[in-house]
Structure 1
């Protein structure tokens, strides 16, 4: 049978066999499938069109007859068609814009829904990761160790370690050269700055190079000019308004002193003995700069050779050699510069600077001989002299060559010690230099009143556009007569003349001049300047009233920010003359006067250096505090007269009167306020507070009765209940509450006080009913829920209290205070694990709550608090509760300075938080090292008068302590704190 078996190729195909299916073929197409073909038709047509360049397009033969796209493609597009296309596109864009907001909102909702259904891994396990802090050490130790899963790859790593590779030559050379010493700083020259190019690589040269680098840095510290000082002895003070290189003198305790501003010509060689070792403050020479010196020197040498008449080349080369510590070379170079440029003062000044005083005098004599008209050379020659008489002789010779130099005349006047000699010099100076404003003003300052008026009269004729002369004339009249009208007339006349001469400056310049007069104790002149010039540039035809008011307000606030309150007051007074009923202007002026009571008076300064106690510029200051108080009362009186319906002015007026103990005055102010504002609750309550503070409870009750009848606001009813509770009249308070709830059924505070009164009386069921009704009427009032929960916890247990807080959290979503009380409830019940779970949910719901983070820190073991504290500070950087917790933590760790720092930060973050003040005071009195700071903390607390917190309100708002001083309440509350 084996012989009859067919071969494989002769066997029939299996059923369902498809040829080529195993290789991926799915079938074949033969000619019988597509029918007879007409080969050659298209090819012939194409070949026929190749000769004449035309190709037959036979695409239409294969187009689907049911598809009519592209039928109009070859049509002509006219203007109407284009316009229609534009209209349709505009409509599409408009519809797209209308649906954009809806589409974006839908996309956001879809994105939020997707994130909710597909949260990230980090989000899913965030609360679990936070809960890991509750795992004990035994639980951590019981976790199984992870096995070694890399055993199968160890053999491969061993094989890799056995492989060796050829190391490149570059790596070998680099390793060889890494320990080599290579230095291009020469030991024999000035830190490698000589012209030789030797390279020494031994360690001795390295040490010498470091020493020379240090020397360069020390020498560089002395290349800055240091102002010097001179003493002229007894005599006249300088009367010059100096600038640049001038001398400023003053008289101190009968001894004339002067400070000279020496000119800086490329730096000096004086080293400050106190700070020459402070290398960080000096501009030292870096290694790159030292390396550049060799490249720069040939360039400068080439410059002086090619153009020896260019002084900048000689100066640059000399300074380069000076930096290189080649002083002899530098002096030689600059001397060659003087020989080549004998008419250039800069070269001579540089030559004088590079030499000592003795040689500098010789050089200065040659320099002034070559350039006798150079003022700077004469001043430099004068500065080289140590004796005052020698200086005078130099300046006198300088004036012979330059009689019209105001700088030399100022120098000569400053060198005089006798007043009469100074007057003679100034009289001669103003004749020779009539346009020198400073000289005229100096002469007027040291003359008598009559002569000064004559001098200023001549100055006005010589200087037609000088505002300083008119200001000096106004100040002279102010100091002599003190008549404001005369000062105003002088400034008005001066402004008119300056305007006619075309020398009127801008308004901001005048404000600066007024501030200068204020700083020099010339208030009348300051007011006159503002009154005359503050409206400059604000034409009524082009600027409306609102713009004027805004401009003046901005000017006044700018002066206040610079500390010139009198100038700002003048601006406000002028603005109020134009707008007498502007509440904004009056309020800003009132705030200014309040600031004046506490702000120190600006120091008296003078730009001319005069001792003002011996001149007409002196003024005697009175009691600034009393004067400021009287000005404040005057302003408030004018404000309530101009704006009687503005309650803020009446309340401030009443507060200021009551603050100094003027009860009668405060009552009189409130009585006037009632007439203008009969239904204003703030004024009524202010009157009640005044009577309560003076313990006139009957009058306070009568006032509240009238207020309930006339004003009848919810706040008035609440204050009425508070007063009855303070007087321990519980039944009267309940009657008021019942009446008030008929008028204001949703008043949360009335419900709250009703329950508190029943608690004080011991009527627990009534208190429970009052709180329950309150939570239904005012479900958003969190204190009602908390009091009800606390009541149920004390009476029935944790279960009902927990249920109440759960309902409160449903009504008040994402409320940190409710979360806090829920956590504390579980903590008091001993459910630490449940408290931690609630904390994880709370922080997920309110991640920025400092209350929750502070409680979370306390829930942690002591060794784990630091890590949670860092997270809390990151999330709530400026929260007072978190900062207070940080201070308490460092206090427990006995890091007292750090604890004090964090507690002070908490107070600064929110000075209205009483808890932060309590902890800071408790810390101060509990540590002897900081006990002396406790009175200062109390003083600052009284100024801030905090009202909020978790601990402080229970003491501050206790009706039983209404007659207790605030300091006693505060100290009693601080005594209840632990550590």
Structure 2
């Protein structure tokens, strides 16, 4: 019974291909709806005019096109597991319009759940705090067990993996028992790293047959003669043939040289090295290792020099060069032999004998030089070298005298033998020397110095007969007269000498004679110096150029330290220009800096005698008497000055200052009253008000100031003093009125604007002060002081940003203001001060405020030397600003010693500073009106210490 045919089984499915990773083309695909790049990492989206939608990401809305295309979701209730939903969570999120990249929620995080819209109230916060305390309590309970378990694991790990120091701890303890001999016997280990590296990267290449054949030919020995040489009888040298190099022999030679050097540095008896520790490095430097190339060069040079000496044996440089070549090659004996042959071939050349003496051993050098002087008895160099080789002065003198027998006219030999002799023998030798060398002036002058006065005059007369054109003889004669007390003869000798030299046709060089005058001053012959200046200062100078030229010469001499020469030049200039006040002032300054008080008073007395109308000379004389403590003498000088110049206001004010500073207020008031009656200027009224202010007479002070303002309404100091007086006694409203009236008469007065702004800040606060400062800057543009006042006002009230803005505008308007750049350096943060100071120095390199600010930076960084240098530069650029002196003195008190502090104090007193923000505030206070400069300096230093501490730690 046949049924249907059985269905064949289906063929097995083909083997599945290995799965490949799916790669998505992100660059060419469309971004998701409402996608903002980087939003999940905190970035913020932005839009342009071509975009649509808000700048910040809003909650994503469901994509309507995607929702329409997708089949309706079924079973998305709470009871259905999310894995059974078609589309999973993503579809649900899209339905809800939820975006996982929206703003982080404090309670729910990035997940929007059931309570996403609920408020986080106090109950929630309390619950979170309770749970957090429970977590901390549980963590503390487990802490001990956790730490014990961690400690056990660490100990177990260290037991199984000990450190190298622990492994060798027992051996290191035994090192304390090792003796010095055992340490010394430890062998040195070499550095095998280079050899190992070489082996590691070594490559082997087969050697060519040509190189092997060439090496074989070079190592074989040739026993046959060259036919060319044999035909010529063995006299022809094969010049074109390259010398055969035996590589084996060269290696063996190097080994031999090395072993010799090692043997020289070792001791075979004890087995220890005997190396001189001091000369070891020198010995190593002296060892010259000659390379093959140098050996070849030496051979070539030897052949050439041999040819030179053979072809021209009478050529001394050839022998010298050949000997030096052998010396360089290390063959000293060959060098001596060669130079000996050179001496035989060139016996009349002193250079050859010199070289032979140099190359000879110390024992043979005398014999060599003896043969040299025998061959060339007229060589001065050889005789001097022979004397140099002698050890004692007696033998040197004998050699030199022997040389003088052959060369009696050699000045060098005479000088050398005279230097070795005593005074008596030197006199006898010089008598003979001037006979043999009558035309050499140094021998005549040396003899004159050794002779007595009468004999020296005879010697100089003889010298003048022999050398009638030599100025040094006349100058020496003048010094001789001065040394023996003949002061009247000094100038006569110089005058006669100049006339005699001019008769002989010698031109008088004024510059050279001035140098001779300076030399005479350094030798202590002041009268000779003055005589030379008097006789030669006017030579070759036109009449209209005399004053300028002589003052310039005196200043140059002063710079070089030739004070007597400068004094002599000024004395001669004053004898010609008696009525020139400027020359008298220059001479007085010279005496003040380098002379005595008596000499200064004498020259000032002469100055006012010839120039009775010169106020400055009278005032200098009175001031010097006052500084010397002689107040009556200063008062007398001012009375004489008043008699000479009765209309001089400077004399009146100087007399007032003298009385006022010496606590004589009644005298000062009387002098000022007379000055006002005679029609004094605004300065007289100002000084009168100062006197009344110090005496405490407020009403009188106000009366004087108001009367002065009626006469001199444009003098701002009177307005300023009146406003300060009203402010001092508490009438701030009236003080403001005074300042405003003063600005109507003096709108460009910066101190009045600053005083008014400061007063407004104290009365009405910052806003009113800011308004006044803005108005002042409009009326006085490009004024750094007004900008700085505004910046400081903002800083005082904590407005740092506003101050920085004002500073930027100020630097744009005043780009080269030093006070603004200094403020900028101090206002920027600490890391930026270096770059800011660099910008400030580029803008205003020589401003003292910038220099002082940079010095404070170095002070902060403890760079003491640099800070001292920059502070010194600041006080040098502006010695009249007392704030810089106070800063410098404070620095020296902290980092200097007693000498540097004394030096700064002395320089400050000499400079007498008058300006400076802090300096003027303290020096012009009523209680400090009569304080000396050093007291004011110390008070300013205390004020600086209270305001700032350069070494305090900054926030």
Retained in 2: the 8 A contact 1:854–1:885?
yes
From 487, 492, 495, the counterpart of 2:495: 492
Structure 1 residue 796 displacement after superposition: 1.2
Retained in 2: the 8 A contact 1:495–1:504?
no
Aligned equivalent of 2:513:
510
Q: Deviations over 1:877-902 (max 9, x none)?
A: 34333333334445445555655554
Retained in 2: the 8 A contact 1:722–1:959?
no
Q: Deviations over 1:278-309 (max 9, x none)?
A: x99xxxx9xx9999989877776665555443
Equivalent position SS for 2:762: helix
- 1:680-691 to 2 correspondence within 5 Å? 680-691=648-659
Q: 2: distance between equivalents of 1:663 and 1:326?
A: 88
Q: 2: distance between equivalents of 1:502 and 1:916?
A: 60
How much is the aligned-residue C-alpha RMSD, in angstroms?
Answer: 3.7
Retained in 1: the 8 A contact 2:340–2:356?
yes
Retained in 2: the 8 A contact 1:492–1:532?
yes
Q: 1: distance between equivalents of 2:646 and 2:43?
A: 77
Q: 2: distance between equivalents of 1:593 and 1:645?
A: 22
Retained in 2: the 8 A contact 1:793–1:800?
yes
Q: 1: distance between equivalents of 2:424 and 2:500?
A: 33
Q: 2: distance between equivalents of 1:338 and 1:370?
A: 10
Q: Deviations over 1:185-238 (max 9, x none)?
A: xxxxxxxxxx99999999x999x99xx9xxxxxxxxxxxxxxxxxxxxxxxxxx
Retained in 1: the 8 A contact 2:343–2:353?
yes
Q: 2: distance between equivalents of 1:759 and 1:633?
A: 46
Aligned equivalent of 2:398:
393
Equivalent position SS for 1:976: helix
Aligned equivalent of 1:788:
756
Distance 1:547 1:929, change over 3 A: closer
Q: Is 1:648 matched with 2:616?
A: yes
Retained in 2: the 8 A contact 1:337–1:347?
yes
Equivalent position SS for 1:514: helix
Q: 2: distance between equivalents of 1:420 and 1:942?
A: 57
User: Greater CA radius of gyration, 1 or 2?
Assistant: 2
Q: Deviations over 1:740-798 (max 9, x none)?
A: 22222111111111101111121112111111111121111111001000101111111
Distance 1:938 1:433, change over 3 A: closer
Structure 1 residue 420 displacement after superposition: 2.4
Q: Is 1:361 matched with 2:355?
A: no
Q: Is 1:705 matched with 2:673?
A: yes
Q: Is 1:476 matched with 2:480?
A: yes
Aligned equivalent of 2:828:
860
Aligned equivalent of 1:422:
426
Q: Is 1:571 matched with 2:575?
A: no
Distance 1:322 1:956, change over 3 A: farther
Q: 2: distance between equivalents of 1:547 and 1:292?
A: 68
Equivalent position SS for 1:577: helix
Equivalent position SS for 2:343: helix
Deviates more, 1:772-781 or 1:494-503: 494-503
Distance 1:958 1:321, change over 3 A: farther
Aligned equivalent of 1:152:
none
Retained in 2: the 8 A contact 1:880–1:913?
no
From 519, 525, 545, the counterpart of 1:547: 545
Equivalent position SS for 1:372: coil
Count of residues paired in the alignment: 685
Q: 1: distance between equivalents of 2:299 and 2:613?
A: 82
Q: 2: distance between equivalents of 1:646 and 1:320?
A: 81
Structure 1 residue 461 displacement after superposition: 1.9
Q: Deviations over 1:537-591 (max 9, x none)?
A: 34xxxx3x22222332333223222211111222222222222222332222222
Equivalent position SS for 2:474: helix
Aligned equivalent of 1:677:
645
Q: Is 1:433 matched with 2:437?
A: yes
- 1:116-195 to 2 correspondence within 5 Å? none
Aligned equivalent of 2:181:
none
Retained in 2: the 8 A contact 1:704–1:716?
yes
Retained in 2: the 8 A contact 1:678–1:710?
no
Q: 1: distance between equivalents of 2:473 and 2:809?
A: 76
Equivalent position SS for 1:679: coil
Distance 1:325 1:499, change over 3 A: farther
From 708, 715, 731, the counterpart of 1:763: 731
Q: 1: distance between equivalents of 2:43 and 2:427?
A: 99
Q: 2: distance between equivalents of 1:293 and 1:847?
A: 70
Structure 1 residue 489 displacement after superposition: 1.3
Structure 1 residue 633 displacement after superposition: 1.9
Q: 2: distance between equivalents of 1:516 and 1:196?
A: 72
From 649, 652, 663, the counterpart of 1:695: 663
Q: 1: distance between equivalents of 2:840 and 2:245?
A: 64
Q: 1: distance between equivalents of 2:899 and 2:489?
A: 55
- 1:298-337 to 2 correspondence within 5 Å? 304=309, 306-319=311-324, 322=327, 327-337=332-342
Distance 1:318 1:698, change over 3 A: farther
Q: 2: distance between equivalents of 1:733 and 1:436?
A: 83
Equivalent position SS for 2:917: coil
TM-score by length of 1: 0.64
Aligned equivalent of 2:464:
460
Deviates more, 1:349-358 or 1:365-374: 349-358
Distance 1:575 1:892, change over 3 A: closer
Structure 1 residue 960 displacement after superposition: 3.1
Equivalent position SS for 1:912: coil
Aligned equivalent of 1:501:
504
Equivalent position SS for 1:800: helix
From 383, 394, 401, the counterpart of 1:378: 383
Q: Deviations over 1:329-374 (max 9, x none)?
A: 5444443433333222233223323334432211211111111111
Structure 1 residue 848 displacement after superposition: 2.2
> Which blocks of at least 5 consecutive residues in structure 2 are unaligned?
1-40, 47-200, 204-242, 262-277, 950-955
Aligned equivalent of 2:584:
586
Structure 1 residue 858 displacement after superposition: 3.2
